[in-house]
Amino acid sequence: MTLVCVPCPLCGSVEFRSLYSASIGEREADASVYFGSSRARAEHLQIVRCNGCGLVMSNPQDDGATLARVYAAHEDAAYESEYASRERSGRAHLGLVNRYQARPTRLLDLGCATGIFVRVAREAGWDATGIDASEWMVSRARSRCPAATFKVARLEEVSFAPGSFEVVTLWDVLEHVRAPVEMLERARGWLVPEGWLFLSVPNVESHVARLMGKRWVLLLREHLWYFSPETLMVALARAGFEMIWTRTKLVEFSLANVMTRLGQYGGSLSGGWSRLSRVSACKRVRLWFPIGEMDVVARVR
């Protein structure tokens, strides 16, 4: 594991002010225990705000080699166990896509995980392609939707011809990549003129984030960037997109999943939360609520 200090990806500044101190030590040997829904511990490195443009980010953060290793080896049984909830979320996301691109065409889902959204899109008539760095994730995606195209690849390394897609989606992905503006620029190059980009990211200016402060549940080691609508608009504009629309994102989890996540914070109650998460009745109770994320629609300028 290697931690590196990085400049702001939006304005290049190297001057920051601390928002939240790290909840883990910088000498932690295994970064992977902090990643994914199956993480052992829900903690974060130092969170800072850029003095130049206001972007909130983790700094220091894991270097590229560490992130590549963690995501390539990533397995996430807890993520897969919430299939029903994630399928409903996928249908909600496809409904958003259909508002702006009513005719099913070519769609690229970057960071497709186990292929749930790709399958939903494929069933609705889309020619959908999914990319993920995890062989474990993609193997389940291929089993789930054999007719779709899936590739195991780091998002920073995958390549497509210009104009290959009418729609690109990045659901809960942009906050994980080391160079977010470059990722958006690459996505723009794969889109047709006036193509559409749909994404969801943590919103550091959301009511939930402001209310919870240092206890915001999305302050996680795996999250490198915490955009606001304003800073995301800047990132999109630099990459050649116009932000069209945003909304507060609601998530659905089982009560068991919520208890599992509470157990990841440690403390004297963590064992109790973990035991309760295995109670069958808790697995059947579904909850919809905001956790401080936003869905975003953008278009190639």
**Which pLDDT score is estimated for 79?**
87
Q: Residue written as tokens 């409904």?
A: 95
Q: Does residue 293 form part of some domain?
A: yes
Domain of 239 in residue numbering reads as: 77-300
C-alpha dihedral (153, 156, 158, 163), degrees to nearest 10 = 140
Q: Does residue 10 form part of some domain?
A: no
At residue 156 the predicted structure's pLDDT band, cuts being 50, 70 and 90, is very high
Q: 284 to each of 84, 255, 257, how far by Cα in Å?
A: 11, 8, 10
Distance between CA atoms of 55 and 248, rounded to whole angstroms?
19
Q: Does residue 56 form part of some domain?
A: no
Q: Does residue 14 form part of some domain?
A: no
Of 80, 76, 5, nearest to 34 (Cα)?
76
Q: Does residue 104 form part of some domain?
A: yes
CATH number at residue 112: 3.40.50.150
Q: Does residue 4 form part of some domain?
A: no
Cis, bond preceding 60 (omega within 30 deg of 0)? yes
**Number of separate domains in the chain:** 1
Q: Does residue 19 form part of some domain?
A: no
pLDDT at 300 over 90: yes
Q: Does residue 112 form part of some domain?
A: yes
pLDDT at 268 over 60: no
* 33-54 mean pLDDT: 93
* 283-287 mean pLDDT: 65
pLDDT tens digit sequence for 179-221: 999 999 999 999 999 999 999 999 999 999 999 999 999 999 9
